[in-house]
Amino acid sequence: MILQALSAYYRRLKADENSNIAPRGFEKKRIPFIIVLDNKGNFQGIVDTRTGEGKKTIAREYLVPHGVKKSVNIAANLLWDNQAYVFGIPRPDPKKDAERLKKRAVLQHQAFIERIRQTPSIMEDEAVSSVFNFLSEGNFEKVIQHPLWEELEASGGIISFQIEGYNKLVCQGEDVTAAVNNMLDMEDGPERQCLIDGNLNTPVRLHTAIKGVWGAQSVGANIVSFNLNAFNSYGKKQGYNSPIGGEAEFAYTTALNELLARDSRQRIQVGDASTIFWAERKHEIEPIFAEMFGVQPKGESDQDNVAILSLFSAPKSGAPPVEEEPTSFYVLGLAPNAARIAVRFWYAGTVKEVIASIRQHFLDCAIVHGPKSPEYLSLFRLLVATAVGGKSENIQPNLAGEVMRSILNGMPYPMSLLSSAVRRVRAEREVSYPRAALIKAVLVRKSRYYHKQQKEVDMALDLDNTNIGYLLGRMFSVLERVQEAANPGINKTIRDSFYGAASSTPVVVFPRLLKLKCHHIAKLESEGLKIYFEKIIGEIMAKIDNIPAHLDLSDQGRFAIGYYHQRQDFFTKKEKPSTEKEAENE
């Protein structure tokens, strides 16, 4: 299903006149340096295609013949490769034996020349003949003396050729293109039924490497791979265990590399999962999906999240409802696994279902917050709130994939999400807006999914909620506010000293805090404030029969929400009453 959907996406891009997707037999490659020759093969100069400054330079992308599969073997690409293959000069590496590198570079250079010689019909091309003469002569003194040589040698980047006066690379010529297409038609081997398109053709033994998965090998990894005997069956080796024809293999790998490209707008990083998404046909949801779940685009704040706001306002605007779209929509999460790529999660649904699931997610996360906080929080903002130091690399492994799967399928959020949020609250003693939103979302979705009759936490302060965890959280917030009112400018409150114990083993802490409260209220100068706080404390205590010895994980979450709601209520709805009369009217 995954590979079939990717193959269909490639066909969609190929049919689009505005798409620059590579045709079969070719691939897009960033080439930083181009060797310019004249018609006779004489060296004329080096062109630097890079833009940017310092280490952030990006080379121009070109369409070149598809690269060969490399590991430790010597295998040359057609008319493009690194300096060892092109010039027979290895890139300096102090960690490796220099003589060994030189001997290997000589063999690599010979393989590069032989690849050109043995490719049928291209030697008749004048441009190819010029390159062949230049390489065969082996006099690269002028190249080494060129001002750009040191940068070329240090970068270890890809090199290709161009004839002076022509805009195209030599490897993009008509004869080279025709030769590449002819070689595709000459593929030989036993025909098998392709698992993707069902056609009879020759299976591909080694599939193209997939690049762009965060944390995977820089040279790429495979999503379909059989590299040990234990993975083989019935005497078949490597790709023959999963027969996929050349056309289908090229389609799915090219589509995957296109989606995972550095500048792709259809990929986001969700924890350790490189997440890509696409629709069956071109659809308006594709460019905004990333904004809903990933980091906000530069120049756009969370407060101005156009994508999410438009999602909620569309039904009111009179525009055609996007949530009625039956177009298929796919989401794929990939993560590194040794030399392979693991599928973290896979979603196949429709735009209608995706919009409904996303909207429900944001409704579940909705909670009262300060006026300067964003209305909706992206998944990235929510997940980093559960990580140590607020760093994305510290997000719990597998958590992002599980949360994304829960959102898209409308399932309960994983309890590990609740435990991560509660753990960070206890460790940092701060119930932040993103953490409160997460805890609330986990609790309300679980209650709705399992049809529980017990009333769950609401968006804002709920005076009718009788859950013991919620009540104790409210009480803790009131006691802290009393302490702050009695000691203006205090740097350390009971939250810094007792939050962890109060939220897990309340019977140990609350008797002491209630005694301490009496001391703090006695210090208040305003009788109105005294009545105000005593009234709230009395209202909460009237609903508590006894203080439990322990609170389970869910009640610890409700404790955090109760604390957060009460705290927000103090600062957003009810200012300090200045007189006793105002306090009585509260």
Q: Does residue 579 register a pLDDT over 70?
A: no
d(CA 144, CA 43): 11
Q: In what order do the strands lie in the sheet with 80-81?
A: 43-48, 33-37, 159-163, 80-81
Instruction: Render 531-586 in DSSP notation, one character per residue.
Output: HHHHHHHHHHHTT-S---S---HHHHHHHHHHHHHHHHHHHHT-PPPSSHHHHHH-
Q: Look at strands 328-337 and 273-279 and give their pairing.
A: antiparallel
Stretch 217-225: mean pLDDT: 84
Stretch 578-584: mean pLDDT: 48
Q: Does residue 76 register a pLDDT over 90?
A: yes
Q: Does residue 580 register a pLDDT over 60?
A: no
What is the pLDDT at residue 57?
86
Of 9-13, 209-213, 267-271, 521-525, which range is least confident? Answer: 267-271
**Residue 328 to residues 13, 333, 552, Cα–Cα distance (Å):** 16, 17, 41
Q: What percent of the chain has pLDDT over 90?
A: 57
Q: Look at strands 267-270 and 273-279 and give their pairing.
A: antiparallel
Q: Which of 459, 544, 558, 540 is nearest to 504 (CA)?
A: 558
Stretch 57-78: mean pLDDT: 89
d(CA 555, CA 551): 6
* CA torsion through residues 339, 344, 350, 352, sign: negative
Q: Does residue 348 register a pLDDT over 60?
A: yes
For residue 12, give the H/E element and its range: helix 2-15
What is the pLDDT at residue 238?
76
What is the overall mean pLDDT for the chain? 87
d(CA 180, CA 227): 28
Stretch 471-478: mean pLDDT: 96
Q: Does residue 302 register a pLDDT over 50?
A: no
Cβ neighbours, 10 Å, residue 321: 12
| Sequence-distant (≥ 6) Cβ neighbours of residue 477 within 8 angstroms | 562, 563, 564, 566, 567, 570
Stretch 465-483: mean pLDDT: 95
* CA torsion through residues 227, 230, 231, 232, sign: positive
Q: Does residue 316 register a pLDDT over 70?
A: no
Q: In what order do the strands lie in the sheet with 340-350?
A: 267-270, 273-279, 328-337, 340-350
Contact call for residues 279 and 286 (beta carbons, < 8 A): yes
d(CA 42, CA 177): 24
Contact call for residues 540 and 474 (beta carbons, < 8 A): yes
What is the pLDDT at residue 95?
86
Q: How confident is the model at residue 572 (pLDDT cuts 50, 70, 90)?
A: confident
Backbone angles phi, psi at 293, to 5 degrees: -115, -25
Task: Name the residue with higher pLDDT: 206 or 30.
Answer: 30
**Residue 313 to residues 306, 323, 375, 410, Cα–Cα distance (Å):** 10, 12, 13, 21
130-141: pLDDT as tens digits: 999 999 998 999
Q: Side-chain half-sphere of 245: how many Cα atoms within 13 Å?
A: 19
Q: What is the DSSP letter of 53?
A: S
Q: How confident is the model at residue 531 (pLDDT cuts 50, 70, 90)?
A: very high
Q: What is the DSSP letter of 368?
A: -
Contact call for residues 549 and 507 (beta carbons, < 8 A): yes
373-388: pLDDT as tens digits: 888 888 888 999 999 9
d(CA 438, CA 427): 16
2-40: pLDDT as tens digits: 999 999 999 999 998 888 899 999 999 999 999 999 999
Stretch 285-314: mean pLDDT: 62
d(CA 277, CA 259): 8
Contact call for residues 406 and 412 (beta carbons, < 8 A): yes
d(CA 338, CA 221): 9
For residue 201, give the H/E element and its range: strand 200-201
Token pair 């039924």 in the structure block, residue? 193
Q: Does residue 154 register a pLDDT over 50?
A: yes
Of 47-61, 167-181, 402-416, which range is least confident? Answer: 47-61
| Sequence-distant (≥ 6) Cβ neighbours of residue 151 within 8 angstroms | 48
Q: Does residue 585 register a pLDDT over 80?
A: no
